Amino acid sequence: MESLLDMMGGLLLVAGAAFLLLGGLGLWRMPDLFNRIQAGAKTTTLGTILILAGTAFLHPEWGFKLLLIGLFLLFTNPLSSQCLLVLLIVAVLRPHHKQPLIYLLILYQKKINQKSFLLKKKSRLKKRFLT
Amino acid sequence: MSSKTELKPKMRDRAVLFATLLLFWIMLNGTLAADSLIIGILVSLIITILFCSGLSFFTEFRATPQAFAAGILYYIYFFKELIKANFRLAAIVLSPSLPIKPGIVKVRTKLKSKMGRLMLANSITLTPGTLTMEIEGEWIYVHCVTVESTDIDEATAQIVAGFESYLEVMYG
């Protein structure tokens, strides 16, 4: 019985670590800020929750506290990534434009959608993978 | 608008916030000893006074059986979507061609309460390929990794509708 719990806990820990690793890979591979934050927000939440669950299997007496920590993460993690995104855009674009935030967001997107911008990024990525 | 009607819901929110904080403190400590309880009450009181407009888990929660049932269904649906989101992201990240088509979509929500909107925004952030950027009244600006449609109604049906049906019962 105990070894089964240990095995489940170990599997969950490995799965959580794998998702966190994929998140890191996403941060590196994604072409722009928005997509990078997307990669970060999703994988860190599930990865951390899986690691907490794995710990709960290994130490059942901590289960309740780990559940509370998981709940807290579930509420704050997406919020923090959203705040980070808005603040980054304010820091990058606000000094040059005095418009409301949402116009800045759209402006930023237009900048990304310009073909040259994306192509430059793509060729840089290709170089990185080929050499 | 008299000040009395304005004050009442505010006091209720504060009481709810205080109770939630104290409950969390007691659950994290795992004891009901006098000294830890006194510290918990003091800290909860200070936080409640300082951040009186803050939200807590049960702010504006409708305490009806339907709301609790919807809450459980909501979490089941939420975890399903979260796992789906992670696998989709993993597929995108691991494929050599990086198949993304990013863009910003504007969607509309029917939810009125602050907590409901917060939960909706968080849920959208954690669902496949979408990230909440800004809420402006009933409009939510969502960044998508792969844009499927820029039409407001279609995008609303795709992104918001699944969570909204549960949250509407829970918070309104």
Instruction: Kindly report, residue by residue over A91-102, the tens digit of the pLDDT.
Output: 666 656 566 666
What's the pLDDT band for A117 if we cut at 50, 70, 90?
very low
Domain shared by B75 and B149, yes or no: yes
Phi-psi region of B43 (alpha: psi -120 to 50; beta: other; left: phi over 0): alpha
Domain layout of chain A by residue ranges: 2-130
Residues of chain B with pLDDT under 70: 1-10, 52-63, 149-150, 172
**B32 lies within 8 A of chain A by CB:** no
Cross-chain residue pair A45–B132, CB shorter than 8 Å: no
CA dist., res. B66 & res. A125, Å (int)? 51
User: DSSP assignment, residue B20?
Assistant: H
For B112-143, the pLDDT digits (tens) are 777 778 888 888 887 777 888 777 777 787 87
B89 touches chain A (CB under 8 A): yes
Q: How many CA atoms lie within 13 A of A93 on its CB side?
A: 21
**Domain boundaries, position B108:** 65-170
Q: How far apart are CA B49 and CA B69, in angstroms?
A: 32
Contact assignment for A109 to B103 by CB distance below 8 Å: yes
What's the number of CA atoms in the CB half-sphere (13 Å) around residue A20?
A: 14
Same domain as B81, residue B22 = no
The number of domains in chain B is 2
Tallying the residues shown for chain B, one arrives at 172
Give the one of A43, A81, A85 whose C-beta lies nearest to B89's C-beta: A43
State both tokens at B115. 């907590």
Q: Which helix (H) or strand (E) holds A61?
A: none
Mean pLDDT of chain A: 76
Q: Sign of torsion, CA B22 B57 A75 A10? A: positive
User: Does B165 lie in the same domain as B98?
Assistant: yes
